């Protein structure tokens, strides 16, 4: 149970030990250049200029070659050895970078495999011949202490120049994170946006027929790997949310027969009630600093929004007060305001209030209903479920203006943001079967993809970039 | 062994009581209202698991569908049809004074999850309050919202959704 945190600490952004002296790996028998100390060069800014929300991203042809290794040796990360692991690393980088609109990547399975020595001295003519604009290369080395060193390089093929590099020393169990870090490096460098691939997602796994659906709390990496069920499905689980430090998950469970929010401690497996009350509690949300939990509670049939200290034991504070349904809520990134939904006007609409509940005002005045608002981590957008006949994912400015619909299906619901505020994740319910699945869409609305999950999936919630 | 004897005794008393028009005056006091776990085993000794009065099967049989009331989209008001059903429920609960019930509130799938939980609670409470207004002691009634999680009709059309927007009164079986 303790693996997560310990493993997190182990993955340090460590510079590589200088100049390992391998010499006999290059079949061409050229003089071998080995990877040098690696640091991320962040001085030159993005290559493509600032990406704005409204313009489609420019697609860049980018070759992602299999990572090389200095010596193909077994590792706990791959029974087939570090050579096979290098291919897997590149496949992860490729899968992260494709389908998000910025890149037109070609993956390692369609490319020649560079030798270890070529990682720092690319065979330029090879890549120019393939009309690649950019090249990602890397290597993986097994260290004596069992850990892995992974290096990641981004080259501009036309200029024959290195654009960025980084290296990480990881526990074998955390090897995928090195690949996500590499994808993050490339993504950030080329887009000017903050990284987001090295993060995790909590969601609800759904199985069984519609009138006897089993719903389990589950977690996975941002690409669906390292999947793990947390609850066994005997009682319905709903609406999970990672704490900002990944130590806890707030979610709803019917474990005692009634809807109640529990705080699940990932380290210990222990869980506690968000508040000692016999009233139903639901719709948990964390404040950005992790100090508060917002939740909704119904007393005498009337639902209002409360906040309570996430440390536990504090007295809940009521933030809304009216006969209508006030529910949900999402903090602005500075923690000073909360966007929430209320049906006080007769239907679900979005409202903003100060974090102490004062200054409540409606912001949604377009047609249809505004539900499940979620403030972007960048602060400049609010995503929500727009109900106008069908259910669509939409965004608006925090003042309610500039509403844009991003998806167009029968029932898309419950947006939550990628840590960098560029991608929105939501779940889609298929008409007829009722089968739910998790999808991602970028802010242009043009790049949409399904996230593969082992079974049906709903209520996705993205955690921040891992520390 | 003791439990069985007591249960049978109480069940006979109930059966006798059922013959009269008015609820017996000598009913033991109801469970206190400050129960910490309304869904738990805090009841009296009546054996409601055997299909006798106050059991779910007995209640459902007696109601013939009147255990469920339906709502319009996003609404929770009690219309005249609902009132007829709730009066039948209240008569039953006033007749079998040991019976305790949970009102389950539900919503259709064409809503958002959190809102549907709130809406289900609102509907269950509306039904419960109506029963209380007819004289059913509040301490014998609890509510639970299932939101959109437990549809009774699985179609994706208006007639299925109409059946799912409901409040169902269920006897608490001990």
Superfamily of domain B51-174: OmpA-like domain (3.30.1330.60)
Question: Residue A216 above 50 pLDDT?
Answer: yes
Q: Minimal CA–CA distance to B155: which of A306, A431, A366?
A: A431
- Can you tell me the distance from the alpha carbon of A369 to that of A361, in angstroms, rounded to the nearest whole number? 16
Whether residue A231 contacts residue A217, with contact meaning beta carbons closer than 8 Å, is answered with yes
Residue A164 pLDDT > 90: yes
Tell me the pLDDT tens digit for each residue of A100-155.
667 889 999 999 999 999 999 999 999 998 888 999 999 999 999 999 999 999 99
d(CA A154, CA A162): 6
Query: Is the Cα dihedral A73, A77, A79, A84 positive or negative?
Result: negative
Mean of the pLDDT values across residues A211-231? Answer: 95
* Burial A280-295, CB ≥16 within 10 A → b, else e: bbbbbbbbbeeebbbb
d(CA A68, CA A76): 17
Q: Give the closest-approach CA distance of B110 to chain A in angstroms.
A: 8
Comparing B1 with A417, the larger pLDDT belongs to: A417
Confidence of residue A60 (pLDDT cuts 50, 70, 90): confident
Mean pLDDT (chain A) is 88
Percent of chain B whose predicted confidence (pLDDT) is above 70: 71
Domain boundaries, chain A: 3-43+57-191, 199-465
Nearest to B23 by CA among B84, B71, B90, B95: B95
Report whether pLDDT(A235) > 80. yes
* pLDDT tens by residue, A337-360: 999 999 999 999 999 999 999 999
Cβ–Cβ of A434/B156 closer than 8 Å?
A: yes
pLDDT for res B174: 62
What's the whole-model pTM score?
Answer: 0.82
Q: At A85, is the pLDDT very low, low, confident or very high (cuts 50, 70, 90)?
A: very high
Contacts of A183 (CB under 8 A, 6+ apart): A92, A93, A96, A97, A197
In the block, residue with structure tokens 């013959």: B19
What is the model's pLDDT at position A98?
86
Q: Which of B2, B4, B1, B15 is nearest to B98 (CA)?
A: B15
Burial of B106 (0-12, 13-18, 19+ CB in 10 A): buried
Q: Give the DSSP H/E element, type plus range, for residue A425.
A: strand A423-429
Integer-rounded Cα Rg, in Å, for chain B is 17
Q: A59 pLDDT band (50/70/90 cuts)? A: low
Q: Check residue A44 and give its pLDDT.
A: 37
Q: What distance in Å separates the CA atoms of residue A214 and residue A129, rounded to the nearest whole number?
A: 53
Per the CB < 8 Å rule, is B145 touching A296? no
Chain B contacts in chain A segment 224-243 (CB below 8 A): 236, 238-239
In angstroms, the separation between the Cα of residue B50 and the nearest Cα of chain A is 22
Lowest-confidence pick of A58-62, B4-8, B96-100: B4-8
Tokens of A126: 């090879």
User: What's the confidence (pLDDT) of residue A316?
Assistant: 94
> Is B118's CB within 8 Å of A347's CB?
no
Q: How confident is the model at residue A467 (pLDDT cuts 50, 70, 90)?
A: confident
- Name the band, by pLDDT with cuts 50, 70 and 90, for residue A222: very high
Chain A contact probe: residue of B72, B76, B113, B163 with most A CBs at under 10 A: B113
Residue A420 and residue A424: Cα distance in Å, rounded? 10
CATH for A199-465, among 2.120.10.30, 2.40.270.10, 1.20.1070.10, 3.90.1580.10? 2.120.10.30
- Mutate: best of B77, B110, B117, partner A, most A CBs <10 A: B117
pLDDT for A366 equals 96
Report the pLDDT averaged over residues A398-427: 96
pLDDT, mean over chain B: 80
Answer yes or no: do B121 and A278 touch at CB < 8 A: no
A312 pLDDT tier (thresholds 50, 70, 90): confident
Instruction: Give the β-pairing of A214-221 and A228-229.
Output: antiparallel
Of B112, B147, B156, nearest to A413 by CB-CB distance is B112
Q: What is the pLDDT of residue A56?
A: 43
Architecture of domain A3-43+57-191: 3-Layer(aba) Sandwich (3.40)
Asked whether the predicted pLDDT for residue A40 surpasses 60, the reply is: no
The 3-state secondary structure of A304-361 reads EEEEEECCCCCCCEECCCCCCCEEEEEECCCCCEEEEEECCCCCCEEEEEECCCCCCE
| A280 contacts on B by Cβ (under 8 Å) | 117, 121, 144-145
The predicted structure's pLDDT at residue A130: 85
**What sign does the dihedral A412-A414-A415-A416 (CA atoms) show?**
negative
Contacts of B115 in chain A (CB under 8 A): 325, 327-328, 341, 343, 348, 371
d(CA B12, nearest CA chain A) in Å: 31
- What pLDDT shows up at residue A314? 84
Q: Mean pLDDT over residues A394-412, rounded?
A: 97
Report chain A residues whose CB lies below 8 A from the CB of B147. 259
Per residue in B94-109, pLDDT tens?
999 999 999 999 999 9
pLDDT at B51: 82
Identify whether the C-beta of residue A102 lies closer than 8 Å to the C-beta of residue A190.
yes
Chain B residue with minimum CA distance to A210: B154
E strand residue ranges, chain B:
68-70, 101-106, 141-147, 166-171
**ipTM score assigned to the predicted complex:** 0.85
Q: How confident is the model at residue B43 (pLDDT cuts 50, 70, 90)?
A: very low
């Amino acid at each position: 149970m303790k693996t997560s945190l310990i493993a997190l600490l182990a993955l340090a952004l460590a510079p590589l030990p200088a100049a390992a002296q391998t010499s006999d790996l290059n079949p061409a028998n050229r003089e071998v250049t080995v990877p040098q100390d690696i640091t991320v060069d962040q001085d030159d800014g993005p290559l493509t200029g600032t990406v704005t929300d409204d313009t489609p991203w420019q697609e860049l042809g980018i070759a992602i070659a299999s990572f090389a290794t200095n010596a193909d040796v077994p590792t706990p990360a791959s029974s087939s050895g570090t050579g096979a692991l290098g291919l897997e690393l590149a496949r992860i980088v490729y899968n992260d970078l494709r389908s998000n609109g910025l890149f037109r990547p070609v993956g390692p399975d369609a490319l020649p495999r560079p030798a270890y020595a070529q990682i720092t001295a690319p065979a330029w003519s090879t890549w120019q011949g393939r009309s690649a604009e950019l090249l990602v290369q890397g290597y993986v080395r097994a260290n004596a202490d069992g850990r892995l060193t992974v290096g990641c390089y981004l080259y501009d093929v036309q200029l024959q120049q290195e654009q960025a590099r980084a290296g990480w020393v990881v526990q074998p169990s955390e090897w995928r994170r090195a690949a996500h870090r590499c994808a993050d490096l490339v993504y950030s460098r080329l887009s000017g946006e903050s990284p987001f691939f090295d993060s995790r997602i909590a969601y609800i796994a759904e199985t069984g027929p519609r009138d006897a659906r089993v719903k389990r709390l589950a977690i996975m990496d941002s690409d669906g790997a390292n999947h793990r069920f947390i609850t066994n499905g005997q009682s319905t689980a709903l609406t999970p949310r990672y704490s900002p430090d990944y130590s806890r998950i707030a979610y709803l469970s019917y474990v005692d027969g009634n809807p109640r929010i529990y705080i699940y401690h990932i380290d210990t497996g222990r869980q506690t009630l968000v508040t000692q009350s016999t009233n139903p509690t639901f719709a948990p949300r964390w404040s950005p600093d992790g100090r508060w939990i917002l939740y909704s509670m119904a007393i005498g049939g009337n639902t209002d929004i409360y906040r309570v200290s996430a440390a536990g034991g504090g007295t809940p504070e009521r933030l809304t007060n009216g006969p209508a349904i006030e529910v949900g809520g999402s903090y602005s990134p500075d923690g000073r305001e909360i966007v929430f939904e209320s049906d006080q006007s007769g239907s679900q609409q979005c409202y903003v209030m100060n974090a102490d509940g004062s200054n409540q005002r409606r912001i949604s005045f377009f047609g249809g209903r505004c539900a499940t608002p979620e403030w972007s981590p960048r602060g400049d957008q609010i995503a929500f479920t727009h109900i106008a006949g069908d259910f669509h994912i939409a965004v608006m400015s925090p003042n309610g203006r500039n509403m844009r619909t991003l998806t167009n299906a029968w029932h898309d619901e419950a947006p939550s943001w990628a840590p960098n505020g560029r991608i929105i994740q939501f779940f889609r319910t298929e008409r007829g079967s009722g089968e739910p699945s998790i999808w991602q869409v970028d802010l242009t609305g043009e790049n949409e993809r399904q996230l593969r999950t082992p079974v049906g999936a709903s209520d996705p919630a993205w955690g921040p970039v891992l520390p | 062994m003791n439990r069985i004897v007591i249960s049978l005794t109480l069940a006979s008393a109930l059966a006798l009581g059922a013959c009269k028009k008015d609820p017996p005056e000598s009913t033991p006091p109801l469970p206190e209202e400050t129960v910490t776990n309304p869904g738990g085993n805090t009841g009296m000794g009546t054996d409601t698991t055997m299909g006798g009065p106050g059991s779910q099967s007995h209640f459902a049989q007696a109601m013939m569908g009147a255990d469920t009331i339906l709502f319009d989209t996003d609404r929770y008001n009690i219309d005249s049809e609902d009132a007829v059903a709730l009066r039948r429920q209240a008569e039953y609960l006033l007749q079998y004074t040991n019976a305790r019930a949970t009102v389950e509130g539900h919503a259709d799938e064409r809503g958002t999850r959190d809102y549907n939980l709130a809406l289900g609670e609102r509907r269950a409470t509306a039904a419960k309050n109506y029963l209380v207004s007819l004289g059913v002691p509040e301490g014998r009634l609890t509510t639970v919202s299932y939101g959109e999680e437990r549809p009774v009709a699985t179609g994706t059309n208006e007639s299925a959704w109409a059946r799912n927007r409901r409040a169902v009164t269920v006897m608490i079986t001990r």
